Amino acid sequence: MTESLAPPAPAPRLGRGAVTAVAAALMLGLLLGALDQMIVAAVMRTVADQLNGLTLQAWATTAYLIAGVVSTPLYGRLSDIYGRKPLYLVSISLFLLGSLLCAAAQSMYELAAFRAVQGLGAGGLMALAFAILADMLPPERRSKYQAWFGAVFGIASVAGPVLGGLFAGMGSFLGMAGWRWAFLVNLPIGLVALVLVVTLYRLPHTRTDHRIDYGGAVTLLIGLVPLLVVAEQGSGWGWESPRTLALIGVGVAGLLGFVLTERRMGDAALLPPRLFASPLFTMSNAVNVVVGMGVFGGLSVLPLYLQIVKGLSPTTAGLMLLPQTLGIVAAGRLCGPFVTRTGRYKGLLVLGLAVMTVCALAFARLTPGTSLWLTGLITTAMGLGIGLCFQVMLIAIQASAPAGAMGAASASYTFFRQIGGTAGTTLYLSILFALAEDRIAAALRRTESTPAFQSALHDPAVTSDPGAQHLIASLHGGPGIDLNDTSYLDHLDARLAHPVLDGMASAMNTVFVVVGCVMAAGLVLALFLKEKTRD
């Protein structure tokens, strides 16, 4: 089935040189955010181990995503009113401030707070880049530049893991721990981006005066934060505990308040209700949420598998994700021209979701003994699926935007994807660490009586290791395995480490089964998507 929508307002006419110059500035802004995410993903285990908070890493990740979720639609709306340029400069400045603060963090809780500052800036980097591009160019010319944007993520994915591994492996540099440079490296890139945006961005803007939906931002924050805290802590508190139920109540009330606020604000809302009058817009963003859960949530677990279970260095683990990046870029470059030529994208979206579902279930079969080439093959296929989904969803969402709301519609693409990513990251890491301790204990009980394990227990060279002593103490009624610092696994005897790695892999398998089910739900939703016909 298809639906016909009114064409968007014509984009401002700019010369080819001006378009290229502005696109270059936007690419630097995208590089700033994309490179940071890649580097932080590569160093997070080292950071968490040094700050004694591996089980708290979800806070550092979700604080960044929550801030981005709340600020993304606000940037879109404010840029429709005041113009893209000043909001874009604010977003870069906040991101750089957050980077400085992160480099000075002394605990995982401080890091989480400072990552939230970064997230406030990151919310505008992608949403405004795509909105500016939509302002400059008609739909048939955007795919070329969107492919360039995709190449930026490819560059970041190549450089990020290498830089992250370099920083994670440093003892110190210029008197600071190596991992702190993972945040300081943002400063020169951001400063160059600021200069280029100030000097090159000359796109005219017609001011539109109406109310700003600060109430929507506040109620959205009230709705999201308690629910994410419950997702993170609910298994420890008890799902029926008064604290859990109280936070669920606050979160639901906040989301209800957000919906009511948006309806009252009308076209001034962060997410104008008229956008949802289009079934194409509504269904595309529903799929967008699910894909965000699968991509960002699932990928928060894969680097841990590579570093903890497979014992790879941060650099090597990051490089193992490069095939996925190449798949994302390749799929985006191929499907963009196809959609431009044919106007059809539903089939590509369904194909991408089917591939991602199969790959997630394949990840659920990973064990400590799985070969790296097989892991790389699955990762490459996952990248192809992601590339198909991301490209066509953006096309569908922008195609459904009514005149005068391109900023809000483009922001919704990042907004709903971040909603899914935030929920997925919190949920999956919560499941992982809730299951890991019991799975490790069960694996230790199965292995304790084996000859190899007993041989290690009676080897003085093995038992003198502090990590081995902690593990042995856990077998004799001592405290359970401490998952806040897993660095001891890097030098623990393989015979003692095996059940720990087996238990971690088992917990990760369960997480990927959940990811597969989520992606399957997105596949079902995509089957009901209506394509926009060309007028």
Residues 485 and 501: their CA atoms lie apart, in Å, by 14
Confidence of residue 139 (pLDDT cuts 50, 70, 90): low
3 beta partners? 532
Element (H, E) at 3: strand 2-3
Determine which of 48-52, 150-154, 374-378, 437-441 has the lowest per-residue pLDDT on average. Answer: 150-154
Nearest partner of 286 among 410, 125, 419, judged by Cα: 419
Please give the CATH topology (third level) of the domain spanning 2-204+270-437+510-532. Growth Hormone; Chain: A; (1.20.1250)
Nearest to 189 by CA among 60, 19, 22, 30: 30
In whole angstroms, what is the distance from residue 397 CA to residue 401 CA?
7
Residue 243 CB neighbours (<10 A) = 13
Q: Determine what percent of the chain is predicted with pLDDT higher than 70.
A: 83
pLDDT at 101: 94
> Which residues share a beta bridge with 2?
531
Least confident range from 180-189, 252-261, 398-407: namely: 398-407
- Output the pLDDT for position 445: 83
Q: How far is CA 43 from CA 62, 158, 482, 530, in A?
A: 16, 15, 20, 42
Two structure tokens written together for 261: 């606020």
Confidence at residue 9, expressed as pLDDT on a 0 to 100 scale: 44
Check pLDDT > 90 for residue 256. Answer: yes
pLDDT surpasses 80 at 414:
no
Domain boundaries, the chain: 2-204+270-437+510-532, 214-269, 438-509
Q: 161 and 319 in contact (C-beta within 8 Å)?
A: yes
Dihedral angle of Cα 311, 314, 316, 318, to the nearest 10 degrees: 120
The distance in angstroms from the start CA to the end CA of the chain is: 15
pLDDT digits (tens, 9 = 90+) for 63-109: 887 788 788 778 877 887 788 888 888 999 999 999 999 998 888 88
136, 122, 154, 277: which is closest to 204 by C-alpha?
Answer: 136
**pLDDT higher than 60, residue 13:** no
Q: Is 397 exposed, middle or buried (0-12, 13-18, 19+ CB in 10 A)?
A: buried
pLDDT band at 158 (very low <50, low <70, confident <90, very high): low
Amino acid found at 212? I
pLDDT over 90, % of the chain: 12
Does the structure show a pLDDT above 80 at 122? yes
Sign of the alpha-carbon dihedral angle for 326, 329, 335, 338: negative
Note whether 471 and 481 are within 8 A (CB). yes
In this prediction, residues 301-326 reach a mean pLDDT of: 79
Task: Report the alpha-carbon distance of residue 307 to residue 185 in Å, rounded.
Answer: 23
pLDDT of residue 12: 46
Contact 532, 400 (CB under 8 A): yes
More confident residue, 363 or 8: 363
Q: What is the dihedral sign for C-alpha 195, 405, 207, 270?
A: negative
Model confidence pLDDT, tens digit, residues 448-470:
888 888 888 888 887 787 777 77
Task: Provide mean pLDDT across the span 374-402.
Answer: 81
Kindly report the backbone phi and psi dihedral angles of residue 532, in degrees, each rounded to the nearest multiple of 5, phi listed first: -80, 130
Predicted pLDDT of residue 3: 39
Range 145-149 average pLDDT: 68
Task: Give the angle 526-231-221 at the CA atoms, nearest 5°.
Answer: 80
Contacts of 347 (CB under 8 A, 6+ apart): none
Average confidence (pLDDT) over 361-379: 90
Q: Tell me what pLDDT residue 332 has.
A: 73
CA dist., res. 239 & res. 236, Å (int): 8
pLDDT at 4: 39
- One-letter amino acid at 397 equals I
Cβ(508)–Cβ(432) below 8 Å: yes
Residue in the block written with tokens 């990020």: 160
Asked if pLDDT for residue 53 goes beyond 90, the answer is no
Q: What is the pTM of this model?
A: 0.73
pLDDT band at 360 (very low <50, low <70, confident <90, very high): very high
**pLDDT the model gives residue 7:** 42
- The better pLDDT of the pair 525, 322 is held by 525
Mean pLDDT (the chain, rounded): 79
Question: How large is the average pLDDT for residues 307-332?
Answer: 78
Q: Residue 355: what pLDDT?
A: 93
Q: What is the 3-state secondary structure (H, E, C) of 127-176?
A: HHHHHHHHHHCCHHHHHHHHHHHHHHHHHHHHHHHHHHHHHHHCCEECCE
Mean pLDDT over residues 382-388, rounded?
86
